[in-house]
Amino acid sequence: MGIFSRLFKGPQVDMEKSNANAKKMRALFDKVVPDGKDYKLIFGYTEDVSRFNYGFVHGSKTKIGNLIVGWNDASMTIVVVPTVPDLSGCGEPTYYRRTDILKAYRNKYPTDAFIIYPDKRSYIGINAYDWLDDEKLYVYVSQEAELAEFTSFFMNRFATK
Please state the domain extents for the chain. Answer: 10-158
pTM: 0.84
DSSP code for 63: S
1-8 average pLDDT score: 39
DSSP code for 128: -
Give 19-63 pLDDT, tens digit per residue. 999 999 999 999 999 999 999 999 998 875 555 544 444 344 456
Q: Is 32 helix (H, G, I), strand (E, B) or coil?
A: helix
Bridge partners (DSSP) listed for residue 142: 131
Residue 67's Cβ-count burial label (10 Å; 0-12, 13-18, 19+) is buried
- Which stretch of DSSP H or E encloses residue 103? strand 103-107
Q: Which CATH architecture has domain 10-158?
A: Roll (2.30)
Give 64-92 pLDDT, tens digit per residue. 788 999 999 999 999 999 998 899 999 99
pLDDT score for 112: 83
The two most distant CA atoms of the chain are separated, in Å, by 52
